[in-house]
Amino acid sequence: MIDLIIDIIAFFCIYAIITLSLNFQQGYTGIFNLGLYFPIIVGAIITAYLPGRLAMIIYGIDSKLDFSANNAVVVSILRSKLSSDPIMSIMLLVLTMAIVALTCYVLGFLSAYPALKLPADYLALFMLCASESLRVIGMQTDWLAGGVMGITIVNPFWWLGGFSYYGMPVFTILATLFIILLYQRMCDSPLGRLLKSIRENELTAESVGKDVNKIKRTTLAFSFTMLGLAGVLHAFMMGAVVVGGYTRVDFSFWPWLMMIIGGTGNNIGVFLGTFGLVLMRRIMIVGKHYFWFLPFNVVWFEPILLAIMLMVTLIFRPEGILPEKSPRIKDYMRKVLKLES
């Protein structure tokens, strides 16, 4: 039972990072991006490639062994080494996150090049196809992340002994709390207002002196960074990377649904939407053996359910459960500016 709860909370955390990043792009700034999973895959691939090889170099493991080709052997050697080396384990984790953050920040900046040139629907298609291509690359390249079969990676919390599989979920929860705080701070500040103004009317935003392109670039770079970190956390938590598993349904369409159902442009709504849907999905996956009598795998109900919920939301509540709300100026002055009047 405790395992299930930790599992659900940890998965919720990953998705919360993804949907808040999506909301930051779409709900706030109005950048229509269907290729959310591009930075997530980047994060996963780097996590698959880097920490294991790094640890091999550090511990001077036989250079005839290859992390990808002799995956099982190498991982078991690394396990014995890392189990007694908490400092190295944590360093590997932090270093991976730092490198992914940096890479994704740069990629976000680069992706702004087409993003600022294209109309919204072209951009959405372009991002979707680019992410799908990256997925194909990951699946076809065995030395990168184990190809179709995937690859087992190190666990930075092996040194916890009997609790080693709780380390990563707990770390994920802490990291997510931090990221949520970042987003909430940004969205409640004048920056949030600025981003919404860009979403509402770019030309007007330009003509009140805002460098729209620069702000959109930074928005993309920042949310790419967070998405990349979500990829790292997800990969470490799963203990393995199968790039083929980062599909457009699981890592783009689901987050979109969570955001739309929760309330586009409202972080709390998006948060609630994410929680509800993650809970539902995990329960379905965990409880699938109760559906043994069906002649097919019950997980296929999941996309149908997703589709129906999306349809209902689009028809009856296009603004979501908690629609976007602007703060009343008196509340803003009292709560944020600490002004009494």
Partner 1 sequence: MVSQTLSVGQNPSLKENKPILIVDNVSKRFGSFYALQNIFLTVPEKSIVLLIGPNGSGKTTLINCISGVYKPDGGKILFNEKDITKMQIHDIVRIGLVRSFQVPAPFKKLTVAENLLVCGQNNPGENFLRSLNRRRWRVFERELVERMFKVLRTVGLEDKADTLAGELSGGQLKLLELGRLLMMNPKMMLLDEPIGGVNPVLANKILSHIIDIRNEFGASFMIVEHRLDIVMKYVDYVYVLSKGNLIASGSPTEIVEKKELYDVYLA
Partner 2 sequence: MIPLPILLTALVYSFILSLLAMGFTLQYITLSVPNLAYATIAFASTYLTLTFSLMGLTPYVTMPFAFILGGAISFMLYKFVSFLRDRGTSIVGLMMATIVFDLIIYAGMNIYADYLATVFKIYAGSFSLSEFDFKIFSFPAVLFVSGITSISLVVFFTLMLVKTKFGVAMRAVMENYNLASVHGINTERILSTAWFFVGGLAGLSGSLYPIWFAMDPWVGARMFISIFAACVVGGLRSIYGSLLGGFIIAFSEVVVTYLFSIYFPWVWAYRSVTSMVIAAIALVEMPSGIAGLIQKFRGGR
Based on the shown chain and the rule CB under 8 A, indicate whether residue 197 belongs to the binding site for partner 1: yes
Give the C-alpha separation, 137 to 246, whole Å. Answer: 12
Based on the shown chain and the rule CB under 8 A, indicate whether residue 53 belongs to the binding site for partner 1: no
- Report in angstroms how near the CB of residue 270 gets to partner 1 at its nearest: 16
Q: Are 71 and 151 in contact (CB under 8 A)?
A: yes
Give the C-alpha separation, 8 to 302, whole Å. Answer: 17
String marking each residue 222-251 x if it binds partner 1 according to CB under 8 A: x-----------------------------
Give the C-alpha separation, 111 to 10, whole Å. Answer: 29
Helices 301-316 and 267-286: angle between axes, nearest 10 degrees: 150
User: What are 331's two structure tokens?
Assistant: 């509340």
Diameter of the chain by CA atoms?
73
Stretch that binds partner 2, among 94-102, 136-144, 159-167, 279-287 (CB under 8 A): 136-144
Specify the pairing of strand 240-241 against strand 151-152. Answer: antiparallel
Show contacts with partner 2 in window 28-67 (CB under 8 A): 32, 34
**Which of 248, 250, 279, 324 is the binder for partner 2 (CB under 8 A)?**
248
Based on the shown chain and the rule CB under 8 A, indicate whether residue 210 belongs to the binding site for partner 1: yes
**Which of 76, 140, 189, 297 is the binder for partner 1 (CB under 8 A)?**
189
Q: Are 320 and 262 in contact (CB under 8 A)?
A: yes
Stretch that binds partner 2, among 98-106, 249-257, 266-274, 329-337 (CB under 8 A): 249-257
Q: In sequence order, what are the residues at sequence separation of 6 or more whose Cβ sits closer than 8 angstroms to the Cβ of residue 323?
A: 263, 266, 269
String marking each residue 259-278 x if it binds partner 2 according to CB under 8 A: -x------------------
Based on the shown chain and the rule CB under 8 A, indicate whether residue 249 belongs to the binding site for partner 2: yes
**Which of 95, 283, 286, 337 is the binder for partner 1 (CB under 8 A)?**
337
Interaction partner, residue 203 (partner 2, partner 1, none; CB < 5-8 Å by kind): partner 1
Give the C-alpha separation, 67 to 74, whole Å. Answer: 6
Compute how many other C-beta atoms are within 10 angstroms of the C-beta atom of residue 110: 14
**Which of 161, 162, 209, 295 is the binder for partner 2 (CB under 8 A)?**
295
Based on the shown chain and the rule CB under 8 A, indicate whether residue 115 belongs to the binding site for partner 2: no
Based on the shown chain and the rule CB under 8 A, indicate whether residue 268 belongs to the binding site for partner 1: no
Closest to 44 measured CA to CA, from 287, 233, 320: 233
User: What are 84's two structure tokens?
Assistant: 């007694």
Using CB atoms within 10 Å of the CB of residue 154, give its burial: 0 to 12 exposed, 13 to 18 middle, 19+ buried: buried
- Report in angstroms how near the CB of residue 235 gets to partner 2 at its nearest: 21
Based on the shown chain and the rule CB under 8 A, indicate whether residue 90 belongs to the binding site for partner 2: no
Q: In sequence order, what are the residues at sequence separation of 6 or more whose Cβ sits closer than 8 angstroms to the Cβ of residue 253?
A: 306
Residues that bind partner 1 (CB under 8 A): 182, 185-186, 189-194, 196-197, 200-201, 203-212, 218, 222, 265, 324, 326, 328-329, 332-333, 336-339
Residues that bind partner 2 (CB under 8 A): 26, 32, 34, 113-114, 117-118, 120-122, 124-126, 128-130, 132-133, 136-137, 140, 247-249, 253, 256, 260, 295-297, 300-304, 306-307, 310-311, 314-315, 318
